[in-house]
Amino acid sequence: MGIATVAVYSDPDRRAPFVGEADEGVALGGSGAAESYLRGDAIVEAALATGADAVHPGYGFLAENAGFARAVIEAGLIWVGPSPEAMELMGSKLASKELMHTSGVPTLPGVDLTELDPDGIKRAAAEIGYPVLIKASAGGGGKGMRVVGSPDDLQAAVEGARRESASAFGDETVFVEKYLESPRHIEIQVFADTHGTTVSLFERECSIQRRHQKIIEEAPSPAIDEPTRTRMSEAAVTAASAVDYVGAGTVEFLYQGGDFYFLEMNTRLQVEHPVTEAITGLDLVRLQLLVASGDPLPPAATDPTRSGHAIEARLYAEDPTNDFLPVTGTIEHIRFPSVEGLRVDSGVEDGSEVSVHYDPMLAKVVARSSTRNEAAALLARALEGAAIHGSVTNRDLLVRILRHPEFLSGDIDTGFLERHDPARLGSPLVTGEGERRAAVAAAIAGQEQNRREAGILASIPSGWRNVPSQPQHVTFAGSGGDIEVGYRFRRDGALEVAGYESARIVEADPARVGLELDGVLGWYDVRRSDSAVYVDGPAGPVRLVELPRFPVTGTDEEPGSLHAPMPGKVIRVTASEGDEVEEGQVLVVLEAMKMEHTLRAPHSGVVTAVLTAADDHVAAGATLVVVGDS
């Protein structure tokens, strides 16, 4: 479109890909969101200083902040989004629910908790009926949300949701709403111009969620027939029209038993917008810029058509086997297959740091095909074949969900990951024989690396030893335990590998090995880091740790030590030295990556040491509390 771009960035994002891709960049300073991306004044100053015409707010932070939108407009800049008034009405989940109710759009009962004391909060929740959902009025993306099943847990949930909402959005307003236990999450993409046209660009289903945040989105929904699609689209257009909406927006509904209920309206572009682009052929960001320029929506948007099926998976640096705990660190290497029908929107590259300050999403991976099952198969295979080194991710979980019979049947709801154990779904894709073959390839690649570092002449065959009778041994730690690889080269150059009747190397260098074991040939890409060996082979990705020949044993750490799982800020310490505690009792609450993480007593006993306090910033692995035996 011939539009130059200016990126604003925080200190940790100085070398992020989006900064390098922009024409210019302006540093906001600071690390946390409050010091950088939530500073609307600094962003407006950056726009004026660089001669920008418009501000596009992106997905999060100030994207739905009416005050920021107003400041942009008052500075004489074009705001790429709806009016501040529309944002205020829809940005507050409480105000929008009331407006939708009066506009005839179905809603769930909810109560604002702002002016209520603890007893009033209990009465409000009891009147709605348990289970209930505590929600941040200004929030989204699962931040500031708690499911509460009984009055005993209510007050702590409200306080936690308020803190999390204030940290993520600068607004601690929360409300209580009836919690549906097995709904589908379906949203309608709406678009409106300044010429009175408001349209629906069909639905997306986002029912596969963890922590109330979407991880797999698709379009169209397998649950919606044409009459229901029409009714939901009409309700969404009604919702947008009620606030004189302009630009891209998403009206979200809960759908259960043939009925749907207004959930919220996101007054911005959604992370999952590529699935709508994939089935409609429309570029939603281009449409945003056209509408912001005052142009009417083009015919392709006012009379949209859809074709095929698209599915998006959100790749996160997090551990599904450990309650989806976010993981910080360096992305050493990341590559996705280049295949027709696959789109990757990534915010990281080789060497990128996953910071404690922001959401740990690494990429959105989108597959489009003619049918839903083909799109799921393409996406699963692309994720499985991606090289992602240096961080624990949810990749294996995503692959297993996409191949799960329940998902493929289309009979899903928001409770999918409550019925199916995330720890099992997120366990390594490759185990057993596949992992062992990868270990053999890693051993051969490691030998080639050692040869080259030692400057051994190329005329000497790979694997040649002065005393060839004894096999070489390498031991790796794998997902299922230690894997010992024993191999040797005979004087005739033939390879022998313990446990296999025949073995042959087709090609070998430190990064790639062609290895035939018992007549089955496979190609393995091998990449070493300081902490691990990554092998991407025919069966999928494998992470191994080469063990030292003479391991050091023993530790000086006290039993019962409770560690910080990641760098973060201590929000609350609930135990003192000498306290008797029960197994599972909350001892420390840590804030990291815009979420609160609760650390509990590893066993019943007596607190023998408290090594942290509220407001402390702690490093990953730091000992915070020690619980001794009673």
Q: Which residue has the tokens 């009417």?
A: 296
How many CA atoms are closer than 13 Å to the CA of 28, on its beta-carbon side? 24
Q: Which residues contact 578 (CB under 8 A, 6 or more apart)?
A: 606, 607
Angle at 499 between CA 493 and CA 504, to 5 degrees: 30
Give the residue from 603, 621, 612, 602 showing the smallest Cα distance to 577.
612
Catalytic entry in 268, 368, 372, 395: 268
CB 267 within 8 A of CB 81: yes
Q: Which residues contact 200 (CB under 8 A, 6 or more apart)?
A: 188, 189, 190, 233, 234, 236, 237
Q: Is the dihedral of CA 154, 160, 166, 168 positive or negative?
A: negative
Report phi then psi at 289, rounded to 5. -70, -35
**What is the DSSP-derived secondary structure letter of residue 182?**
S
Q: Which two tokens stand for residue 382?
A: 């692309």
Rounded CA gap, 281 and 274, in Å? 10
DSSP lists the bridge partners of residue 310 as 219, 368
SS3 570: strand
**Residue 268 falls in the annotated catalytic set:** yes
Find the largest Cα–Cα distance for the chain. Answer: 87
**In this structure, are strands 540-546 and 472-478 parallel, antiparallel, or unpaired?**
antiparallel
CB 370 within 8 A of CB 309: yes
Q: Which residue has the tokens 């009673």?
A: 630
Q: Is 257 exposed, middle or buried (0-12, 13-18, 19+ CB in 10 A)?
A: exposed
Q: Is the dihedral of CA 116, 119, 120, 122 positive or negative?
A: positive
Q: Which residues contact 76 (CB under 8 A, 6 or more apart)?
A: none
Q: Which two tokens stand for residue 141?
A: 């993306």
SS3 sequence of 576-620: CCCCEECCCCEEEEEEECCEEEEEECCCCEEEEEECCCCCCEECC
User: Counting every residue, how long is the chain?
Assistant: 630
Q: Which two tokens stand for residue 412?
A: 């899903």
Alpha-carbon Rg for the chain in angstroms: 27
Give the residue from 103, 124, 98 showing the smallest Cα distance to 113.
124
DSSP string, 187-233: EEEEEE-TTS-EEEEEEEEEEEEETTEEEEEEES-TT--HHHHHHHH
Q: Which residues contact 427 (CB under 8 A, 6 or more apart)?
A: 321, 396, 479
Q: Which residues contact 264 (CB under 8 A, 6 or more apart)?
A: 90, 93, 96, 140, 252
Q: Is the dihedral of CA 300, 301, 306, 311 positive or negative?
A: positive
Q: Catalytic residue positions?
A: 268
